[in-house]
Every structure is written in C-alpha cells, then in structure tokens.
Structure 1
Amino acid sequence: MGHSAAVWDCRTAIEITKDWNGIDQVMLRNPHGASAKVSLHGAQVVSWRNEHGEELLFTSSKAILKHPKAMRGGIPICFPQFGNCGSLEQHGFARNKVWTIDECPPALHPNDSHGKSFIDLVLKSSDEDLKCWPHSFEFRLRVALSSHGELLLISRVRNVNGKPFSFSFGYHAHLSVSDISEVRIEGLETLDYLDNLSRKERYTEQGDAITFESELDRVYLGAPNVVAVLDHERKRTYVVRKEGLPDIAVWNPWEKKSKAMADFGDDEYKQMLCVDGAAIEKPITLKPGEEWTGRMELSVVPSSFCSEQLL
C-alpha cells in the first residue's frame, strides 16, 4: 500500500505497509524523528524508536515471524488472560488475531489525540473465539506517539454479551536494556508480589529497588501509577505510567530458561526486561454494556531522574 495520511499536521504522518506475513502494519512518526510501528497481527507494537533512531523495545533475533504465532518481543496485548491458566492459550488469543483499523473510533479525551500521531484498531469476538471463550466483546486499542516521543496505548474493552464476564490483561512490554545486571526498577519497593517461580506464593518486596541476578517472574500488586526502570550504562530511564491497571508484572528469563526457548537467543536475556502494566490478581468484571479502559504510557528520560521526581 505505502500511502500516507496526515493526522494532525503535515509533519506527522501515518504510513501503512505490509509486514513479513503480508499483514498491514502502521508506522507512526513525530516531527522530531521518533517512530512507532504496530502490526495488525495482534495489534502488537513491534518497534518504538527515539529521535536518534535508537530502538527502545527488544525483539528476539530468533523470533518466529509466522502468523498466527505472536512474535517474541515488542508489546503483545495479553487478553482475555495474562499468563497460562485454564483452557485458553498462554496470554490469551488477542495477540494472535488479525485486528482491523477502526474507522469509527469512540471519542476519547482530547489529550489522547492532540499533538499525537495515532491509529485506532479494533478486535471483535469471532465464532472461533466464542468456542473457546464464550463471551461477546469489542476491544478497541489506540496506539499514539506524542510530539515528545512518548508511546501511549489505550485499551477499551466493552461487554456486548448478555451476561457478565471477567478477564485479566497485560501490556507485555519488552524493554531494550544495555545489561540486565546494571538495571534497577524503582517504585515497587515494599509491595506484595506473587512469585510465579514459587507457585504464585505471595511475598513482600524487601529491597529498596529491584535488581537482577537470576530469573525473575513476579506480579507486583497494587503498584503505583508511575514506575521507573533505570539503565545505568545507557544513562537513561524508562518511565512507565499506567491507569486502570493495578498490577505490574516483571519478567526476565535469565540463562537457563533462555536456552530452553526456541524463539529466544541463549544470551538475549541480558538485553531485555519485561515491565508490564497489567490487571492480573483481581480480574476485570464487566456487566452487559459496560466498558473498561486501561492505559499505559512509556517515555524515556535521562537517568538523573528518580521515581520520586516523576510522581
């Protein structure tokens, strides 16, 4: 396709191209050279670059680029479940479906579009979905790139079913880091967490920050709406802001698990960290006609910032 359409002025444009499977993908750009790319396969953000062209998201060199499997990296959408439980596939089916561009998106707050290039995508329950998850829904996602380079994802899930249903959710954000052993997360200290490496036992975080020396797979409960991921070597900090998402999932597979994953390089755990805005411990329940909204914004600031300054 390759055509472009101006969104808010002539300097900021959307470009639609094809991905490796011939599925449409959308490139968002801002006036300063930052960009974000989202594939209609899973509505997955597969690239987010700053104004210097540096990639801020991790994608495995061994990622399987074959529909319908979700690609290992970027920001997959986990819905209607996060993790692996019950009869559904791990992290749900939304990340494996082909979404469509939403030609009639619902009105959002003016701040969600002003000064941003954005795309609205929609996924509606299919007959196939209803066989494994018998609830009719409409899922609308806005992916936006601000004039300052922030990446914003806004999910709206509506119950168009005749009865209530519940779901869990996560933005499975794979951040690119210089060296995992040099990274720390601030903002989750003193919180309770569920440890997926210990049968989801509940513990309380004891450290003044989260650092990495081995495999880690946790869900931090009741997390603050601003969390900072400090990358000392690159002297930059990822700032994760969220709304409507009470939990933060943190994951790094470390060496042993990396070698066991076919779509992940043996040493790539050193260059990635997942920090996910999520709703996991207490599923979201929607009555017929009700809608839920969950937002996550990612930005990058110099590492002289700390989480206290971001609140």
Structure 2
Amino acid sequence: MNNIQAIMKEYEEAREKNKRELENRKEELYAKLPRLKEIDDDMISLSISITKAVLSNTVNHEKLVEELHKKQTDLKVEKAEILTANEYPKDYLQIKYNCKKCKDTGYIGLEKCSCLAQKLIAYQYRQFKLSHKVARENFDNFNINYYSDELMDNRVSPRENMKQIYFECIKYAQEFDNHVKNLLFIGRPGLGKTFLCNSIAKSLLDAGKSVMYQSSPDLIDLVRKFKFDFDNEEAGDEALKDVYECDLLIIDDLGTELNTQFSGLVIYNILNKRLTDNKKMIISTNLDVDEIMKTYSERISSRIFGNFDMFEFYGEDIRLKMHDII
C-alpha cells in the first residue's frame, strides 16, 4: 500500500467512526426525546418532496418548493430548541468531522485539503524515520566551519568546496519542481553526504513531497522481499510503487550492497525506470569514479554519469571534530 492509499484508508476509517458515533447519539436521544426522531423522519420526507417538486417542473412548483423549504426551516428551529432546552449542543445530532473543510475526504473539489497535505508530511516523516534527525540534520544546522580552509591537491579548500555544494543543495530543494535533475554525492565517509541528503529530504517533506530514503543494501532487500514473497507479480509491483513513483528517491551507500547479478539488475531497473519517467534521484556513495566503473556494468555506470550532476566531498572526517554533526 502506497502513501496516499494508506492515508485515504485513514480518512475512510475516520468517516466510519464518526458515522457510528452519530448513530449512537441518535439512538440515545431518540429514546429520551422521541419528538427528535419524528422531526428527522419528517426532514427526510420533506427532502424527497422538494426533489420531486423541482423535477416535476409544474406551473406551481416554485411556490411548492418554497413552502416545503419553510416547513424544513420550522423543523430545524424546533429541533434546535428541543436540544438546547435539554442542554445539548444544537449540532449534537449532526455528524462530526475531523476536518470541516473537506468533511474528512482529503479533497475540496479536485484540490488537496490542507489536512491531507499535513497528513502526507507526517506520514512521510514516519516512513522516512526522519523525526529524530531533523533537529540536527537540516540546512539551518549545517556548520561550514568544521571544514578546513586549507587548499588540497591544487583544488579549492574543503570549506570552499562544501560551501558550493551546500548552496547547490539548497537551490535543488527550493527549485525542485522546476527542473529534472539528479545528484551524485561522492566521497569518503564522514564528510557530510548523509547530512545533506537528510537536509534536502526534510525540506521536500515539509513542502509535501514524497521522499523515499534507502541504503543500497536495504533497497536490494526490499525488492527481493516483494519479488519473492508475493504469489503474483502484480502484488509485488504494487508494494514497490513508492520506489518507482515517489517524488525523490535517495539511495545511500551505493556500493555497500552485495555485488551480485540480482543486485545489479535491481539497481539498473530502478535507475532506468525512474530516468525514463523523469523521476528524480540522489545517490550517495563512498566509491570514487574509477571504483564505480569497476563495480558496476557499463549500462549502470553510463546512466549514473550521464544523468547525474556529480559533487565530490573531500577533506578530513568532520565527525572526528564534532561527533554528532552527522
């Protein structure tokens, strides 16, 4: 079940719960105040009569509709008076919605309700398991001062390099909808690759985008599970829908998975399908360019280097300077 299906199921369950609670309130008050049931029954009959009168289009149908509406209004007033006289709220016998704007459907017309947008964000946070990280790993908390400002091997300093990467990542998150762009982060462990992946993910999740973050070994295991645990291919494809259709797929630690024919096929299929569908990706790896070329087939490496903007992370392991920065 993908994200939206799970959330729409929550809406359905909320509507059913609210309906049951309304029926319980009705049962309670109908027994205590029988006139209320008579009013509700009369209201239903009037609604039917109004519909028939409108459809009949007879000469006097407008006057008849007006009279029926007046009777309906009189009944509503009487019902409210009975409820307040017995110390019940006027809306006690109306269904209660968690969200009055969309009436617990998630949509206002064809537009997503704000409550659905918030549910998507909250669901993504749970799925992404990001909630315990966002207090530390976000753009606001990125500290460029942990990187050395000394030149390295005729290149700009690690600090200047990270400053450029940092601003590119912010730009990527801010302009996510305006381009088809994939990022490749290359560099040894402890240089901030995962930190910036999490920062981008947080910004997109907060904007209501769907993000899936998996280490390469976990992604291979996920595909293996659903390919071989289901009795039919259609069920497996549905279970893996998020991998192929989420707004952003982040593959962390590429190259740490067991290098087999199956893992290579999985990586190729994911890359190929998402590139074909113009779905964005970020890949983070401790491998350098030569190691990627040696580890993966030409059809995988060509898709990576031909379709991703590469950013190289270098310098000292900043975790040695600040253990909890990453």
TM-score, normalising length: structure 1:
0.23
Larger helix fraction of residues: 2
The one of the two structures with greater contact order (alpha-carbon pairs below 8 A, sep at least 6) is 2
Larger strand fraction of residues: 1
Q: Which of structures 1 and 2 has the bigger CA Rg?
A: 2
